[in-house]
Chains A and B, each alone.
With several copies, the nearest count.
Chain A
């Protein structure tokens, strides 16, 4: 099924705005879609992107033909770096996350619950899994933003009352950015803050399991 709303690139662009709005300097990018993000944030903003593979100062993804085989982002993709970049071992890379030095993280997710529970290490029907650094991020980083498709390819909600998949951590997601909407996790419940161009609050609710609280300031995502 063709998904409506924003592309991955637009979702990354919207996530970039969120980082700029909050004024963050040190932001981790989880494995998957988030590693595309540096392309969509002006370099003058000097957000230092952290890769759990041991780098602070990630730039944009480049062509494989330009690849320096000793350099990648956490997704294993060839990248550039920004001035002031530093490299370090995995012990320090995870100390930065677990020790709450990184201010924010943008992660991919299979499911997020209305309480902010995150499931992103074990896909459906998988016997093993790929926790990677996702649990370190979830536990150590204060502001964790999930960037995800609003539904499965089959149209099943991925923003749910309770995660059906094994969770990464409880109550850690503060902000959800999907192809359809931007939502905040609050003690009152999920607040629908923004909708993608041409998408209505009602349409978002239909593909969302928990009841959404529509913000009085609801607006269309402007990029």
Chain B
């Protein structure tokens, strides 16, 4: 019998180790697996974290575990949380390396990483610093550059409902990067609001088929309600 349910967060994420690369779902923290992220703090260091915005890692207690950040949204959020003053300093001092990637290229790199496509050309960021030092090429009169697929050792994602086979459904805008990252990691670990019986998820609306999922852990949705990351400035 297929059973991907783990009884605790610690068991589900036991093998995240020093030097791991970890993708983390969520958009500005919405739909992020905050409890999985929280548990990662202090367990492993020298991590490469791959997340849309740093809102996805707001539950990280100790930012010194980060070695490298691949993300599309960093600076604007650094002032939001007190702990992040330290992250800002580490970035400024080069202790955390940052690779900034515009969101569309970011998600396409991950999608191709999970789909066996090694590289693609994109027009987004051509003639800006995002295309600097990359191979450029004109397609139909438009400058593009080559972007490479992106994969990770682990993907931490959050789903609304999951079954023991790893089938997942997301809710509203909490979907975002989650289903794409689920495809692109060696081990995909899911924090699910609710575990349902096999057959309860509508087969036409199973956003992530179980084939992409390795481990599922149930976390009461109340615990996922971290404070909103961003105030209008």
Contacts and interface: CB of A to CB of B under 8 A. Distances in A.
Interface of A: 25-26, 32, 44, 46, 48, 50-57, 64, 67-72, 74-78, 81, 83-102, 121-123, 126-136, 139-140, 166-170
B117 A98 contact: yes
A98 to B, nearest CB: 3
Interface residues of B, number: 76
A72 B102 contact: no
Contact of A53 (B28, B92, B100, B199): B28
B75 A98 contact: no
Contacts of A122: 75
Interface of B: 1-2, 27-31, 52-53, 55, 72-78, 91-92, 98, 100-105, 107-108, 111, 114-117, 122-130, 160, 163, 165, 167, 170-180, 183, 198-199, 201, 203-204, 206-207, 209-212, 221, 224-225, 228-230, 232
A71 B125 CA distance: 29
A88 to B, nearest CB: 6
A92 B114 CA distance: 10
A85 B203 CA distance: 6
Contacts of B124: 98, 135-136, 139-140
Nearest to B31: A70
Given A98-B104, A131-B101, A132-B73, 9 more contacts: A46-B1, A87-B204, A93-B107, A93-B176, A95-B183, A127-B91, A129-B75, A133-B104, A140-B124
Contact of A99 (B31, B105, B174, B183): B183
Given A131-B103, A133-B102, A135-B124, A71 B211 contact: no
Give the one of A54, A134, A167 with max B CB within 10 A: A54
Contacts of B183: 95, 99, 101
